[in-house]
Amino acid sequence: MPQARFIAFSDGSALVNPGGPGGTGYVVLDRARPAYRFGGTRWVEDGPNAVTNNRMELRAVLEALEGLPGGEAVQVISDSRYVVDALSRWIHGWRRKGWRTASGEPVLNRDLIEALDARARDLSVTYTWVRGHDGHAVNEVVDQLAQAAARGVAGPGEAEVVAALRAEAFLAGGPPAPRSSRA
């Protein structure tokens, strides 16, 4: 299987679960350029839904996929088993059962899962789980971005993102990747 053009790392955080505030963090690398973008968002409320860790995890993936050109392959890497399993395994059964769980309860976070599913249909998305807090440099950076967003403080900057991408061999040494942006 060929390597995906885009690789997207994402993480979410809720300081109080449920209740928030919460934050998202992501780093997206375009391997064809190479170029990258990164950022995060603070969530104090989430419409009629409580701010939860799982909602922030899902929102982080949505933010990472935003703006990517249709038809492209994307590898989403998350330390959330919930995200990876919900979007690659459980979603098929939930659709068949009318968005009900195995116990017959309504699927939580259905709005975000359906939004991600719709976006993923325009792309070729694969989901990969990585162990959290296990020294993976880019996963640590997206965790820091999400935590900082939740707290409303500045998170890692471009130098930290570039260093993490290089530490995991996604970027070669030398000057920072061209056309970077902080979203």
User: Which pLDDT score is estimated for 179?
Assistant: 46
The CATH architecture annotation of domain 6-182 reads 2-Layer Sandwich (3.30)
Structural domain spans, the chain: 6-182
User: Which pLDDT score is estimated for 175?
Assistant: 47
Residues assigned a catalytic role: 11-12, 57, 79, 133, 143
User: Which pLDDT score is estimated for 177?
Assistant: 44
Q: Establish how many alpha carbons lie within 13 A of residue 114's alpha carbon, considering only the half-sphere containing its beta carbon.
A: 9
The whole-angstrom separation of Cα 40 and Cα 144 is: 10
Cα-Cα-Cα-Cα dihedral sign, residues 114, 60, 152, 176: negative
User: Which pLDDT score is estimated for 172?
Assistant: 84
User: Which pLDDT score is estimated for 77?
Assistant: 98
Mean pLDDT per 10-residue section of the chain, whose length is 183 residues: 91 97 98 96 96 98 97 98 98 96 96 97 96 95 98 98 96 57 45
The first and second tokens of residue 12, run together, are: 């979410």
The first and second tokens of residue 8, run together, are: 């997207």
User: Which pLDDT score is estimated for 174?
Assistant: 52
